[in-house]
Chain A
Amino acid sequence: MAKALAFPSVAWFDAVRAVFNSDERYRGAGGGRCDCVVGLKIGEAVFVLAFEGVECVSAVAADDAALVDVDFFLAMSAEDWREMITNIAENDGADLHHTLNTLDLARDEGLAASRHGDQFREDLFFRYNQTLQFFFDASARVKTAVDNGKLVKL
């Protein structure tokens, strides 16, 4: 039985990448070529995902300074991230209230942002939104433990 991987961690993102990269369904239906570098600010933790072609080619832990260079970053409290990941796990994909775009518009401070302020690069969040949603929805197939040790997906 697979060991539960802690969210957030590079190992967890690598497991999600493996699911995402190997499932051809994510390459159609509005998914497909996606070239961007995405920062994730999960509470105080920072990760950087690189998408190239039809794959997520890397996930690394980083520090706050890395957010200057990414095309855009998604920032929420650790609690809100856990809620989103748990919701995805429980519903085999985000429900109507937990999609990335919904979280972005429903929050006063938004979800997607950048340090460079270039809207052309920030717009990549919109241009590749389905791919990003596919990526996080793929996490439903990864046995996950949130960082307080609670298992969210068996």
Chain B
Amino acid sequence: MATVENGTEQFDLGWMRRTGPWNTRAPRGKHGLTLADVAVGAYGEAPDESDNQTGRPRGAVARPGSYRIGGYAVRSKSEIWLDNASFLYEEALQRQWSSATDVPWHTIEPLPDDVEQAECQLATFLTEVEFVAGDVPARWVSLTTPDFLEPRQVLLAQVMDEARHMDVFRKRALANGGGLMQATGATSGFVGGIDLSRDFTEMSSRLHVSGEGAVLTLFRMGELMAQNEAEKVIYRLCAQDEARHVAFGIMHLRYMASAAPERREEIHCYLDEAEAGIIGAANPVGQLTPTSESMAIILGGGKANFDDGMNKVIAIRRRQLGEYKKRVISAGFGERFENGRSGVDRMIDHAA
């Protein structure tokens, strides 16, 4: 701030002496200057417990008298951390795509009415659930101390991904002579319940591992069912994004399993709830829902071949459950499949 003394303007340059660790020269790696590259010295040290309630960037000098702005509930590292967050963030940045220009919309052509209605029902459902998938991580970003910037950044990238998913399925519904169908209500069940989570790990196990794992299968199935190149691209690119979100959840659970073993039973309870949701109407590959019927119509090539299509849905549902089981094992909670606690094996056996 400039002051005037004896008619001469004087500058207070005291701010120049208040720096974080200086002479920092983060080395640029072969993939550019990544978030991992700048995690050097104290700048890379996330505290086990954070008292940062002022929005101070990690490594910056604290400002005396700063008022509290965040009300950050997540200030314990084990609550949100994962080992590869920087990597996932850079991957998210570099693998972005545009729903306006990277989808070959010109390849969409008129479809039989029943197939178009089924496509639009799926698009309606996906637009609906992606609202939740965007809203929930956004809320947790705002609750997390800036000291845990790496997972925050991944979650922010996820919000962008989900925003794109919301718009691309809206575009699909409105692009080919159809429109949005009746909302499925999925957001009032298991999916909507994700936002009632009181704890980040509870949210992540529901959203990233079970919810997005299930939707990942749906996106892959969408690519299989696609009637044109535009739908192929939409579903393939959405599946990529979703797989990245699933990876976040697995890595977070792995970290929790090692850093906070006292919470293992609690996490098993979250997985119990998630598995109960897998068989419900919120699971798009579940039984007797507008979405599973829609998929059967598309996979069968029309209402006339509904049974053939449903058989394919069931086969993919088995694969969905098998992948979920292997993800939970990968996350470090495989004992639930050995001790009889999980019903997933029975679900696989009786998928129909």
Contact = CB atoms under 8 A, between A and B. Distances in A.
Chain A complexes with chain B: yes
B328 to A, nearest CB: 9
B97 A118 contact: no
Interface string B218-235: 001101101111001100
B31 A118 contact: no
Interface string B88-101: 00110011111000
Contacts of A31: 95
A102 B240 contact: no
Residues of A in contact with B, size category: 20 to 34
Interface in A97-120: 99, 101-102, 104-106, 108, 110, 117-120
A126 B94 contact: no
B175 to A, nearest CB: 17
B162 to A, nearest CB: 15
Contacts of A105: 220-221, 223-224, 316, 319
Contact of A32 (B30, B95, B224): B95
Interface string B314-333: 01100100010011011100
Given A30-B236, A126-B243, A127-B240, A53 B31 contact: yes
Contact of A120 (B31, B223, B237, B250): B250
A122 interface: yes
Residues of B in contact with A, size category: 35 or more
A126 B229 contact: no
Interface in B188-243: 216, 220-221, 223-224, 226-229, 232-233, 236-237, 239-240, 242-243
Interface string A2-35: 0000000000000000000000000111111101
A98 to B, nearest CB: 11
A96 B226 contact: yes
Contacts of B229: 96
Contact of B247 (A28, A30, A123, A130): A123
B244 interface: yes
A126 B220 contact: yes
Contacts, number: 97
A117 B326 CA distance: 7
Interface in B291-346: 315-316, 319, 323, 326-327, 329-331
B102 interface: yes
Contacts of B240: 30, 126-130
B95 A33 contact: yes
B246 interface: yes
A127 B243 contact: yes
Interface string A30-43: 11110100000000
Interface in A133-153: 133
Interface string A49-76: 0000110000000000000000000000
Contacts of A133: 236
Contacts of A130: 95, 236-237, 240
Given A32-B95, A123-B327, A124-B243, 10 more contacts: A28-B97, A30-B236, A96-B232, A105-B223, A119-B327, A120-B251, A120-B331, A123-B243, A126-B216, A129-B240
- 10 closest A-B pairs by beta carbon, nearest first, are A119-B326, A32-B94, A126-B243, A30-B97, A127-B243, A33-B94, A32-B95, A30-B237, A29-B102, A120-B330
